[in-house]
Amino acid sequence: MALAEEDFQRIGEFVKDNISLWLAEQSLGKPPVVYEIELRERMVRVEEELRHQRELMREGFERVDKRFEQVDKRFQEMHEDMDKRFQEMHEDMDKRFGQVDKRFEQVDKRFEQMDKRFDTMLKRHDHQFIALVALISSGIGLVIFALPFLLRI
């Protein structure tokens, strides 16, 4: 038995009319309008959840940015602290070197004083030596001068 074209059209119309009902029955017996409303509600909830997730991600990124700013600020403070410490150490070392220089100047002054003392001592010894040589040579001269007189006696 061959089906006529008219039969195909009637079958097609029957399928078109009933397919939504069949699909609704397959989806737990819900009518297509309720199923469509449910799908829309789900889509709205999914969109709201996605919006909420985006807000949470933004907040997370803002927190990370704030944390990085805090870390940067802390590094800057540490850098400034280290600079201050090095400057203080440098100033302390300069003061200490200044004190060492003063000590060396004092030691130099003492050496100069000792040199002056030695110079004055040498001058005294030179005078004493000259006086001693003059005395000895005078004594020898007197002995030589007095020797002919003593030998005559």
Answer yes or no: is 1 within a domain.
no
62-85 average pLDDT score = 94
Say whether pLDDT at 30 is over 80.
Answer: no
Q: What pLDDT sits at residue 149?
A: 83
| Residue 10 CB coordination number (10 Å) | 12
Residue 142 lies in a domain: no
Residue 134 lies in a domain: no
Give the chain's domain count: 1
Residue 143 lies in a domain: no
Whether the pTM exceeds 0.85: the reply is: no
Helix axes 5-26, 32-152, angle to 10 degrees: 50
Amino acid in position 140: I
- Does residue 3 lie in a domain region? no
Residue % of the chain over a pLDDT of 70: 90
Whether the per-residue pLDDT at 66 is higher than 90: the answer is yes
Question: Could you tell me how far CA 2 lies from the centroid of its own chain?
Answer: 94
Residue 144, in any domain of the structure: no
**pLDDT for residue 5:** 76
Report if residue 11 sits inside a domain: no
Q: Is position 8 within any domain?
A: no
pLDDT digits (tens, 9 = 90+) for 94-125: 999 999 999 999 999 999 999 999 999 999 99
Determine the structural domain holding residue 57 and report its residue range: 16-115
